[in-house]
Structure 1
């Protein structure tokens, strides 16, 4: 089959290549952060990295997988709880953080067999019920002592400066790994299958997509990310109180970040995490009005800017820094043909692009 030389299909652009280079340089500079920043700045950046993890993994589940969950705090809390348990058993505290997320991801695998049978609103409410059930079960552990909670006392083995630096590097490394894994996953055949299921599950199944297995992959990945974020948050807060870690506000934060940044866009979730981080830094001390403001902002974005800030930029200017799909460029004139109309010129996302 011959290809029309007048049609160009591309994935990487000069801008996207430059973006990857810039992101790599930024990560290298951030890795040296503890040698130049004070503990306060280090703690704030650690918080930002955790927010990015929460945003991109919820966006993977809902924005790309079409599985809108209001119960991701279940895995966030379980990740922190598992880290406490592993550290109490004598395991190195920083090894416990990562291993806790792996264990919770493994636990989410059998849970997915039940939860993924639910559709739409049923899935969302089912996840919230799961979170409440996990909260109650954790409260029964004598180590936790109900809502009194416990502490990650193993961190006392490190002095304050060491603890701030190690928490920072753990969060930065975890965020980088999550972003790289998700980027590779969404650019693969599995990523295309995930988005096909989101758009039309029956049609995807008719084309041979293994619907349940594919949904399970993104569900377990999102659970791993939330659990890792919970464990990392524990390393900065030190204390573990179930009502704090299993609170629905964590999922509310995830939803806010993704709605404002851009649901179903890779860059949008990162942008939303940064925006939420700045809003919290400026207005976090406003009490209940801070939460009211977050809710009102999310509502306004869902009504008037449903694709979020990055989604709007992407549609308005064709901006794509980290392309996941292919782009079909406008037909270029060849010998003996007239130039295309203005409406035909330019880049158009392919079917594989969200």
Structure 2
């Protein structure tokens, strides 16, 4: 009886091929929505896409990189104010200014990383929150940006409502789909392997020649860029900003809720978590504080019963992966 003649490394699965087809259909439906969906539906979907993209960025940081940040609202706020500065005061097209808002957040991430990377574990998490509060206080004292009361996006005045809404929606769809696709590509690359290795053990990663600080810096800046895009996009849709809302801790709290509920360390998890969060919000929004209690109860139940999250549990039990990033060795006969 002859033994195996070799092996091959497998990245895709049957589920991933089904997932690719479903993703293509979903994208086709999504990008055509401005032609047939109502304004209210599009505004809600833009908000959903903002939190999905932000949750994916936090998941990349914490779930794959082991960087537990509770200060991503700093980059959300800076990205949003970057939009207002460029559009209202520098004369940049507001839609182009969304990208500039993301770049502003990425630039801020460089000095923030230089400070916070000196901290470990819980100290790193608290350090990122402190940075967010410093950013909020600093922006609150800049009268050019409206000070503590904020300002409206006056650059959008005179633009037809239909054009504004459809373009904003297409930008939101492009950012969300692009972030998921780019994150998937990164995690399937050698960089993604290095990132997850660092999450599991920094010491072991260093012994294998991985430049730990450089990899962590790259993923931190990328997550800041994505968070900045989310902030700029959200307030492009809202048309008004204030420091209290742009740097609100709820940004990261909701992102953590979405990731933990869906399944940390999976690309599918934030999608499931986003659907659960907005489903509960729309269902219970009329019940006041009961809505928040229901969210908390849901989080507690999931963490106790399914500590891997909803999708994490399904994936572990049935080995179902629509976005596989693991490499598997298959023996050749």
Fold-level similarity (TM above 0.5): yes
Per the TM alignment, residue 100 of structure 1 is displaced from its structure 2 partner at its CA by 0.9
Q: Is the 8 A contact 2:205 2:212 kept in 1?
A: yes
Structure 1 partner of 2:104: 103
Structure 2 partner of 1:325: 326
Structure 1 partner of 2:162: 161
Structure 1 partner of 2:126: 125
State the Cα deviation string for residues 224-256 of structure 1 (Å, max 9, x = none). 111111111101111101101111111100000
Q: Between Structure 1 and Structure 2, whose CA radius of gyration is higher?
A: 1
Per the TM alignment, residue 22 of structure 1 is displaced from its structure 2 partner at its CA by 2.0
Structure 2 partner of 1:149: 150
Structure 2 partner of 1:345: none
Per the TM alignment, residue 309 of structure 1 is displaced from its structure 2 partner at its CA by 0.6
Per the TM alignment, residue 144 of structure 1 is displaced from its structure 2 partner at its CA by 3.0
Structure 2 partner of 1:93: 94
- What is the alpha-carbon root mean square deviation over aligned residues? 1.9
What pairs up with 1:226-265 in 2 under 5 angstroms?
226-265=227-266
Q: Is the 8 A contact 2:104 2:228 kept in 1?
A: no
Structure 2 partner of 1:294: 295
Q: Is the 8 A contact 1:51 1:277 kept in 2?
A: no
Q: Is the 8 A contact 1:267 1:310 kept in 2?
A: yes
Cα distance change of structure 1 residues 78 and 285 upon mapping to structure 2, 3 Å threshold: farther
State the Cα deviation string for residues 8-62 of structure 1 (Å, max 9, x = none). 6421122212211220222022111010111111111111111110111100000
2:139 pairs with 1:138: yes
2:241 pairs with 1:206: no
Distance (whole Å) between structure 1 residues aligned to residue 286 and residue 157 of structure 2: 29
Distance (whole Å) between structure 2 residues aligned to residue 221 and residue 247 of structure 1: 21
Structure 2 partner of 1:63: 63
Point out where structure 1 has 5 or more consecutive residues left out of the alignment.
335-354
2:10 pairs with 1:10: yes
Q: Is the 8 A contact 2:112 2:131 kept in 1?
A: no
Distance (whole Å) between structure 1 residues aligned to residue 280 and residue 227 of structure 2: 21
Q: Is the 8 A contact 1:143 1:150 kept in 2?
A: no
Q: Is the 8 A contact 2:66 2:199 kept in 1?
A: yes
Structure 2 partner of 1:37: 37
Structure 1 partner of 2:220: 219
Structure 2 partner of 1:81: 81
Give the 3-state SS of the residue equivalent to 1:119 in structure 2: coil
Structure showing greater relative contact order (alpha-carbon pairs closer than 8 Å, 6 or more residues apart): 2
Distance (whole Å) between structure 2 residues aligned to residue 142 and residue 181 of structure 1: 37
Q: Is the 8 A contact 2:141 2:148 kept in 1?
A: no
State the Cα deviation string for residues 95-130 of structure 1 (Å, max 9, x = none). 001111012112212221221221110011001101
Point out where structure 2 has 5 or more consecutive residues left out of the alignment.
none
Distance (whole Å) between structure 2 residues aligned to residue 29 and residue 5 of structure 1: 46
Distance (whole Å) between structure 2 residues aligned to residue 179 and residue 213 of structure 1: 22
**Length-normalised TM-score, structure 1:** 0.89
What pairs up with 1:189-204 in 2 under 5 angstroms?
189-204=190-205
